[in-house]
Structure 1
Amino acid sequence: MRKKEQKIVITFRTTAEAIAMETQCQKEGIPGRLIPVPRQISSGCGLSWAMPTDWDGNIGQWMEARGLHWDKFGEYLI
């Protein structure tokens, strides 16, 4: 069984928003990956972006500057 880690988890209302996040992060080298939304969170599309908590930047501002939309985000043990 994999050890749980603290991660920043970002949820989206639509799959298109989740895919746009993944595409932009890959383009700019932002660490993370798409995962199913963890059980403790409810979200519209079922996909979320999980990334390290020690990423050097403000993910909300980064997303806003690129026109990316999210439902909610926070730190979770996953």
Structure 2
Amino acid sequence: MALMFERECKNAGYDVRIVPVPRKLSASCGLACRYPCQAEDEIKKLCLSKDIEVEAFHRLED
């Protein structure tokens, strides 16, 4: 799903990239996608329209 998420978001013109799940969120290894926070609502709509399953959306501060 992370690969599909990245591909569909890039096709729609969003700056998205696959990254390891941040330790702040989970100690287990896995994949996450980093995207611009201001595009979150549009990206959520894209996921619904493309049947992309997302476990959760998080905002992380540096």
TM-score tier after normalising by the smaller chain length:
0.7 to 0.9
- Is the CA contact 2:37–2:59 (under 8 Å) kept in the aligned structure 1? yes
Show the 5 A alignment for 1:8-27.
17-27=1-11
Relative to structure 1, the CA distance from residue 59 to residue 25 in structure 2 (aligned partners, 3 Å threshold; closer, same or farther) is closer
1:58 equivalent among 13, 21, 42: 42
Unaligned runs of 5+ residues in structure 2 are none
**Deviation for aligned residue 1:57:** 3.8
Relative to structure 1, the CA distance from residue 19 to residue 38 in structure 2 (aligned partners, 3 Å threshold; closer, same or farther) is same
Aligned-CA RMSD value: 2.2
SS of 1:19's partner is helix
Higher relative contact order at CA 8 Å, sep ≥6: structure 1 or structure 2? 1
Q: Provide the aligned length of Structure 1 versus Structure 2.
A: 62
**Deviation for aligned residue 1:53:** 1.3
Q: Percent identity?
A: 26
Question: TM-score, normalised to structure 2's length?
Answer: 0.78
Relative to structure 1, the CA distance from residue 39 to residue 67 in structure 2 (aligned partners, 3 Å threshold; closer, same or farther) is same
Unaligned runs of 5+ residues in structure 1 are 1-16
- Is the CA contact 1:32–1:50 (under 8 Å) kept in the aligned structure 2? yes
Q: Partner of 1:7 in structure 2?
A: none
* Larger strand share, 1 or 2: 1
